Chains A and B, each alone.
Chain A
Amino acid sequence: MAFFPHLLLATLEGLVTSAVLALTALGLSLVFGVMRIVNVAHGEFFMLGAVLAWAITITLTGHPALGFAVALVLSPLIVGGIAWIAERLVLRRLEYNPEATIVATIGLLYIIQQLALTFYGPEARPVAPPFSYRIQLPWFGYSGYKLSIIAASALLLLATWFVLTRTRIGLVMRATQYDRETALAFGIPVGRVYGAVFALGAMLAAVAAVLIVPIQQAHYLMGLDPLLLSFIVVIIGGLGSLRGTVVAALLIGVSDGIISVFFSPTLAKIIATLVVALVLVFRPQGLFGTATK
């Protein structure tokens, strides 16, 4: 294939990756930013979202779009509920001690993975896309659904941005993130805010997974890669910065796509990872953050 079509394709692919990554990472960023904890189970919430999407679409008959629409609403709600329970039962009792939380969320990761394996099984299972339209470009074909993911993700990101900056809920969250003690003194129920933030973070991961599952598949071990990538995005973007998270997701997704044009696949992955690592080495506070702590 000629160079420019190849580059175009790689960029499109990068954008799709970025779109999903931005949503997943935003969830992690909220939890990280507001609660100051490392949630190792974040990827498992992603996986759970995909697995539930499969279960929901398989239960509902009729046009695939119907099942998909229901999954898009129901799956994040269930995942959010599970996260909320985990937060109330375990993390709250640990008083958000950072180290204890790591162990607890690793425990949670094992539990969720095992439950998925037991009740869902070890197979990779596909979910039918709500619509399948193949766009034929002069050089190659491309999935219309993939392009719609970019749009859907952008809408969801805008909605999240609106909630965080224009509503009372968002104000309370930001206040808690800014200064927990003062927020408490002003009568903000910090405990309940934490529960809500943890649930919301998980829901964002689940929604990203529902979007991606028609082009990938649900599998009980699918959570690891989104977890690692989300961590990278959150730190590169700067803690608690929505804009930074989106830019970092774009940086990582698109550079991964473009670098793949020039090198053999494994070497491309090595270089892309190294580039991002070096960005952080020479800009330790992230792209938009003030000094991280």
Chain B
Amino acid sequence: MKKAILFLLILTLLLPAGALAQDMPHAGAEVVTNFMQSGTYDVGAEQLEAGFEEATGIELEIVASPFVVLVQNNITDLATGTGEFDVISGDFWIGSVWGQMHPLDDFIERDMWGGSFIEGLTKQGPSAYFDGKRIGIPYSADAYGLIYRTDIFEEAGISADWETWDDFIAVLGELEMHLEGTDIAPNVFAFGASEQAAAIFLGMYDSYLVDADGNYALDHDEAIASLNQLKSLLDYNPEGATGLSIDEANSVFLTGKAATMICWVSFVRAAAQDPDASLVVDNWATATFPGPGFPFLSAWNLFISGYSENPEAAWEWIKYYITEDEAKRRFVELGVGSPFLSTYEDPELIEQYSHDFPAMVANLNRAETVPWIFAAFEVFFRHMSEFIIGAATAEETLEATLTDWAELEVPEGLVQSAMAQGQMQEG
């Protein structure tokens, strides 16, 4: 009798534990995930931490670092096989270590996981792939954009329907005439933040970034034309534009001193609609980013490190963090661009962001990443900065860039990304 009671008692104790093990198959596992310390992505993760731990029994550690440190940590962690992080936050900047990432296809297929991602963002480039396998999933999306003053355009009888940079520059000419005698510049851009000008170049440039042999390259004539066109924008910018930082350029627009601004729209969206910070509330809209190039895309992906001891638990975290509801919440509360179409089709949000959403989605659909590692980007933007301040000609800039690029190797993952995005020389 005693034995039977004892058996029943043990059974009673074990049943919930068994059920728990079924509900929480990874309970007790530890996952270390990293994010950029921006007060957005990292805060979004911290807000989910307790709920995730409770729902899965997985112990989550969030490591937030400034951008440069994050990239350094990710590259050294993966290149040396240290395995400090299970879930890695990154994009093409860490393309040199994409080969060390855990493929995600099996997880996605098994769990039939997905969502209403913006079509362009699911392609190779915005989403990270290596050797044909998906290794990263975007959790944010921001495309370089162009915003304009609706009141000024209306007053001048100009429509913001440009397709190319030639069209846009022609509009700037019209604006210049219309704004003559005022202290409003037709355009403003943060030329002083030298790394930013590459985004305009990429919008103007319509050719390869990697040659047929897999080396960093640029088409000579296209590059020269784009550099010169980029510099011509200075004619329509306020005096001293070559020294403007991002915040300073934003301030020029927000104080009503520019009719258009080329920028990361996410950096200025909230402030532009805040009456305490902006003189252009309800008088601005996002426009299509001109071509024939592409809007430069910032799409943070979550990867699972190939050195993770808990890839299953790491995948649980990715599924928990990247959901349509969470993306919408992060967009509304933290200003993080959502990779999901459902955010931009939300009736409530459409009403609030009617001046912003249509062009933003169009830009995101066309947006591309670049196959540049840090060293390649550094070389490019520094030489371009010399050109912008008048210390070098377009020819010298291109020659110096190509000379420095000749020393660099394009990582395999980024060659594949360039090929998939049509950025590779044919032949």
Q: Do A and B bind each other?
A: no
